[in-house]
Amino acid sequence: MSGIEGKVVTITGASSGIGRATALLLATRGAKLVLGARRLDRLEALKETIEAAQGEAICLAIDVRQRNDLTALVALACEHYGRLDVLVSNAGIGPISKFEELCVSDWEAMVDVNVNGLLYGIAAALPIFRQQGCGHFVNTISTAGIQMSPTMGVYAATKNAVRTLTEGLRIEYEGKYRVTGISPGFVGTSFADSMTDPGIKAQIQKRMDEIALAPEAIARAIAFAIEQPADVDVGDIVIRPTAQD
């Protein structure tokens, strides 16, 4: 299936930022959206916005740290729409800090959300894609995994784990699904809200306010990968502000 119209697209982290912008854009292109995030009130508001513009969407409150929640989200797509064409694994957090601060609970949270959350999505969707003989994984990574910065060691490690998992999926796919990694730079989202160090949070937010891209820029990159013909696999897209180092 080429293009976007009629495709069933499941998005995690859909209630805000890149996930929300992607849902809105794909809805205008005729996709059928299955939206997952923790904040049900925001998901329902997004669903209503999509439907008011004549789009299609359903939603489910999920926590990507819970494997059963990802299983339920994928099952909802298949039960409601009869198939799943694209899984956009977008949920992520970044409570960054220097190693010497020993914020071990923050390290664990990043592994749970950024790595395990992705793996649970793969575990839920991969059997469906192989059964269908087609499907598309779109994984949100980060330029933090490409250019290292102080305080981002653990966060960058989780995102490089996602990069490795994405490539590992691709080389195993046997033509039965596609795999795309999207690596955004600074984007104007609520990303800084997950940061527990007030000084670092203020510093990152200031930099975002100065140079960040709108989430819609990343949404367009995701749409580009999805809309390609079935024999075209867009492996990796890096998209950052022109002012970012």
Ordered DSSP codes for 56-91: EEEEEE--TTSHHHHHHHHHHHHHHHS---EEEE--
Length of the chain: 245
Cα 106 off chain centre by: 20
Which member of 81, 120, 155, 177 is catalytic? 155
> Sign (positive/negative) of CA torsion 53, 55, 56, 57?
negative
**Residues 113/115/119/120 CA torsion (nearest 10 deg):** -10
In one-letter notation, the amino acid at residue 148 is M
State yes or no: is 155 an active-site residue.
Answer: yes
Q: How far apart are CA 8 and CA 28, in angstroms?
A: 13
Catalytic residues: 155
